Amino acid sequence: MTVPSGAAVGFPITRLRRLRYLPAMRGLVRAVHLQPQSLVYPLFVRHGRGIKQEIASMPGQFQWSLDRLEEELAGLAGLGLGGVMLFGIPATKDATGSEAYDEEGIVAQAVRLARRVAPELLVITDVCCCEYTDHGHCGILAERGDRCDVDNDATLELLARQAVCHARAGAHMVAPSGMMDGMVAAIRRGLDAAGLSDVPIMSYAAKYASAFYGPFREAAESAPQRGDRRGYQMDPAAPAGQALREVELDLAEGADLVMVKPALAYLDIIRLVAERFPGVPLAAYNVSGEYSMVKGAAARGWLDERSVVLEMLTGIVRAGAQIVLTYWAKQVVHWLQP
């Protein structure tokens, strides 16, 4: 006898609405559960004192100076979040982004602060050059005849130094986001040589050249001064399988977790990576533009923010992401409380 699948039986025996009438019944058969410990909250830190400067294109998100960040971290500590992701705005920018690997750089200081005031909070740092370079690109620039491009291999050394700097300051995990070939291997080697072999790497493995990063570039003051990032970030119209190659290579280089970014226009990529690499923790970045467009519509009364956000995050998790980086992390914790 074959076991009947739900699909084999039709109406009127099968009535899918039976499981939808009661809230408790819907709850019972739910498969996707948002939980605070799967959410990572991005934070922007800068030098100075008394600064909690709202980012115009991201209402409710701020650039923090360390003294104000301290209060924020203390408030975050008890929420049960998966962690925070730190982005730094340096005091000065130069061609090689030297503050990025300075022990007194803003991120290193913020990491030490976080470890002191919120010891139970997982601290992740973004490892990239774009916030630190005066030209705003994710690596060192090389002039190549008629084009000006990021020098992949020369950038690797800087990324490794930055990761080591963050990990020495106490970062629990580093997250390279520059889409340089070989970045994970270079960082792994750097960390291991520094005696930091226990620090995992979350690679922004499949990161697309996206217009949805617009508001972030205001937040992190990291817009490229000329050109764009299409020479290193992925083409949205590339074959989906290219994302699998990126993930595969990063894993071979020693990535412990991988990320797909942005999330909403790339749910197919999330699903593909989740299915192909079921044993690898997968994160998705619900990026700044995804935040701003909902905020903008909600402010005009066009959308109900809470419902829309919970639905979007549910979709990202249902697609296969276990971890979601989102500017709503803090608010979601409150929304999820019964």
List interacting residues with ligand PBG (CB under 6 A): 126, 128, 130, 138, 177-178, 213, 216-217, 229, 287-288
- Would you list the DSSP string of 268-286? HHHHHHHHH-TTS-EEEEE
- The DSSP bridge partners found for residue 261 are 207
φ, ψ of residue 119 in degrees (nearest 5): -60, -25
The answer to whether 274 and 298 have CB atoms below 8 angstroms apart is no
- CA-based nearest residue to 86, from 58, 125, 115: 125
Q: Based on CB atoms, which residue is closest to ligand PBG, 121 or 150? A: 150
- CA-based nearest residue to 196, from 172, 230, 226: 172
CB of 195 to ligand PBG, least distance (A): 27
Q: Based on CB atoms, which residue is closest to ligand PBG, 40 or 272? A: 40
Q: What sections of the chain are H helices per DSSP?
A: 23-28, 66-77, 106-117, 152-169, 183-193, 214-219, 241-253, 267-276, 288-299, 305-319, 329-336
- Give yes or no: 93 in active site: no
Q: Based on CB atoms, which residue is closest to ligand PBG, 117 or 238? A: 238
Among candidate residues 52, 93, 261, 295, the one labeled active-site is 261
CB of 222 to ligand PBG, least distance (A): 6
Q: Based on CB atoms, which residue is closest to ligand PBG, 32 or 223? A: 223
CB of 38 to ligand PBG, least distance (A): 18
Q: Based on CB atoms, which residue is closest to ligand PBG, 71 or 329? A: 329
- CA-based nearest residue to 205, from 246, 245, 238: 246
Among candidate residues 52, 93, 207, 330, the one labeled active-site is 207
**Rounded Cα distance, 15 and 31, in Å:** 19
- CA-based nearest residue to 43, from 138, 116, 114, 133: 114
Q: Based on CB atoms, which residue is closest to ligand PBG, 130 or 309? A: 130
Q: How far is CA 270 from CA 81, 235, 259, in A?
A: 22, 16, 9
Return the amino acid letter for 125. T
Please, what is the Cα angle at 80 between 79 and 85, to 5 degrees? Answer: 90
- Give yes or no: 330 in active site: no
Residue of minimal Cβ distance to ligand PBG: 216
- CA-based nearest residue to 172, from 81, 263, 277, 284: 81
Provide the annotated active-site residues. 207, 261
